[in-house]
Amino acid sequence: MIDRNKLFDTHAHYYSQKFNELEGGADGLLTCAEFQNSVGCVVNIGADIETSHCVISQAKKYDFMYSAVGIHPTDAQNVCGEDIEGNISKIEALLDTPEKRRENKIVAVGEIGFDYYWQPVNKELQYEYFYRQMQLAQKYSLPVIIHDRDAHGDTFDMICRFPNVCGVLHSCSMSDEMVRQLCERGWYISFSGTVTFKNAHKVKAACAAVQTDRLLSETDAPYLAPHPYRGQMNNSVLMSNTVREMAEIHGVSYDEMLRITNENARRFFGID
Ligand SMILES: [Zn+2]
Q: Identify the pLDDT of residue 176.
A: 94
Q: Identify the pLDDT of residue 2.
A: 75
pLDDT at 221 over 80: yes
Q: Identify the pLDDT of residue 1.
A: 67
DSSP string over 230-268: TTSPP-GGGHHHHHHHHHHHHT--HHHHHHHHHHHHHHH
Give me ligand 1 centre to Cα 90, in Å: 20
Question: Tens digit of pLDDT for each residue in 85-115?
Answer: 999 999 999 999 999 999 999 999 999 999 9
Mean pLDDT across the chain, nearest whole number?
97
CB 55 within 8 A of CB 94: no
Give me ligand 1 centre to Cα 163, in Å: 24
What is the arithmetic mean of pLDDT over 221-227?
A: 97
CB 94 within 8 A of CB 52: yes
Burial class for 23, CB neighbours closer than 10 Å (0-12, 13-18, 19+): exposed
Give me ligand 1 centre to Cα 220, in Å: 5
Half-sphere exposure for 168 (CA within 13 Å, toward CB): 33
Give me ligand 1 centre to Cα 17, in Å: 14
Give me ligand 1 centre to Cα 3, in Å: 24
What is the arithmetic mean of pLDDT over 148-162?
A: 97
Give me ligand 1 centre to Cα 171, in Å: 8
Give me ligand 1 centre to Cα 13, in Å: 7
Give me ligand 1 centre to Cα 229, in Å: 18
pLDDT at 200 over 70: yes
Give me ligand 1 centre to Cα 222, in Å: 9
pLDDT at 52 over 90: yes
Q: Identify the pLDDT of residue 25.
A: 97
Give me ligand 1 centre to Cα 161, in Å: 23
Q: Identify the pLDDT of residue 75.
A: 95
Give me ligand 1 centre to Cα 250, in Å: 25
What is the arithmetic mean of pLDDT over 10-18?
A: 98
% the chain with pLDDT above 70 = 100
pLDDT band at 172 (very low <50, low <70, confident <90, very high): very high
Give me ligand 1 centre to Cα 262, in Å: 19
Give me ligand 1 centre to Cα 81, in Å: 19
- pTM to 2 decimal places: 0.97
Give me ligand 1 centre to Cα 12, in Å: 6
Give me ligand 1 centre to Cα 149, in Å: 11
DSSP tag of 221: B
CA atoms of 53 and 178, how far apart (whole Å):
33
Q: Identify the pLDDT of residue 4.
A: 82
Give me ligand 1 centre to Cα 174, in Å: 16
CB 39 within 8 A of CB 63: no
What is the side-by-side strand order in the sheet with 65-69? 7-12, 39-45, 65-69, 106-115, 144-149, 167-169, 188-191, 215-217
CB 168 within 8 A of CB 143: yes
